[in-house]
Structure 1
Amino acid sequence: MQIREELENLIAASIAAACDDATLELAERPAPALERPRDLSNGDWASTVAMRTAKLAHKNPREIAQIIVDHLPENNMIASVEIAGPGFINIKLTPSAFQSVAARVRAERFDFGKGTLPEGTPRNVNLEYVSANPTGPMHVGHGRWATLGDAIARVMRHAGYQVSEEYYINDHGVQMDVFGNSVSVRYMQLLGHDIEMPEKCYGGGYVKDIAQGIIDRDGNKWESVSDQERIEAFREIAYQEMLDLIRETLTGFGTTFDTWFSERSLYEVDENGTSPVSRSLEIMNEKGYLYDKDGATWFRSTDFGDDKDRVLL
């Protein structure tokens, strides 16, 4: 049990004692609700319970505060209590209260602060983070999200949740074709072809490195094939190379994932000629959540509180 909880229990016990001897007459007993004072010179913790109880008890908040202070059980946590302003109860802790925390940390070690969830609380959590497109190396910004996501996962596990960490691989869509084409153009340039990089491309130096790596392995094998065949082949080669680099970078950073979920899998067609995406769209359409407008398929997300509907296709 932490200091805050112990203090709240003391105040709750004080309110209960005052109700038992009829010093306070309450139809319901309020929660102590401790908070940190803005000015720490006022104390380590403060409670507004007296002010919140005034209407229930039909008494002045400062009078209620005094009653609560007078009924506090004996303890070795509270060094002093001061009633301030309209009825704040300001509490200063004893040195031993702080020392008990250090002693608990040493005794419990890695179990210190470990939580247990109330019965019935959903425990399984899928935490998806980073999920950078596999079209280039990771940068400092990705490190920020890796740090945040990894920390959240660890804190939630310590709180009692069963956490699965997921990296959603955006390996389906136009950006993958653009990536493949960018490598294809660099490949042809390195073989001496006078070709300009398209306006829509990935222009980083790593694209040229990938193209050079293909030349080192395959030579001019891909020079004579059609542009489309080369783009498709290079898209897969570059994709796998970047995905491996992303995995390596995150592992070196100390961030690991339980699941690497490929967006492509959502479009894989089964023996019935359907995919997860097509089945989802069919169900959404049957429920009336989709409509066509301006050459696009829209989701009626405003039905669920969104500020505007969203384009799906």
Structure 2
Amino acid sequence: MPEVKKLKFLFAINPISGGQDKSAWETEIRTFFEQQPHSADLFLLDGKNDDIELPKRIETYQPDRLVAVGGDGTIKFVAEHALNAKIPLGIIPAGSANGMARELDIPPTLEGSLEVLINGVEKPIDLICINGTEHCLHLSDIGMNAQLVKYFDEGKMRGKLGYARGVLRVLMRRRLLKLQINTGDSVVQRTAFMVVLANARMYGTGAIINPDGDVADGKFEVVVIRKLSLVAILRMFIHFRPFDPKHIEIFSASSVHIVTKRRAYFQIDGEYRGKIRELTAEIWPGHLQVVLPA
């Protein structure tokens, strides 16, 4: 039998993602690798000097795969460093919302996702490059959901109660946006509650926003939520049901330029980025290698 290639894994762990202590996870990861021909090193993210310290650890350890242990925000952060180091990204879903892991069929359990890291295959997925400086792996949006992300981040409550409180604040303060959307093929004026740049199908909650999305098809979708009743809002944000397709307009694009009449809330992969009036986005096909189920 051919000798198994011994791989080095560097785990970048968010110790508080999903509001859960990850110390037991650290033990389980170390125990798992004691039974493997491969090796693992663990790096705990602290939210302070990670941009400096994680590249140092990558340079020192020289891993074959860089693994994000956390939610969508952690995955986005670690993916940026995997890109810079030109190494594949592995994913262990451990957040309160694990939309990207669900999109890529990564098992939700630690044991299952570790098995994928060892026995899975490296496949390329697309990225959306935003304003030439940031990458979106999953979903970014302008408007109501970004406003909800901001309120959730600001709140002291976590879990479903904190989420529900954020939804109520959004309901009381929701406003329509007036936008110009230029996809290169067409320029349209729209009034909407929310515009999504979708590289995938669903939010981490399971709410489907882009039914035909595909992270590896060389394009993304601009999803315009033009009509949003109270019932529709509750269906999406509380019961995580798909939007009524009659109230949604979807543009398939390889690039887009969006201008809003007034400043609007904006988020990328679950990370609030402030208020904006303008953005440019383009697809980067197959730009990130990810370890996926075989």
TM-score by structure 2 length? 0.18
- Greater C-alpha Rg: 1
Greater fraction helix: 1
TM-score by structure 1 length? 0.17
Higher relative contact order (CA 8 A, sep 6+): 2
Greater fraction strand: 2
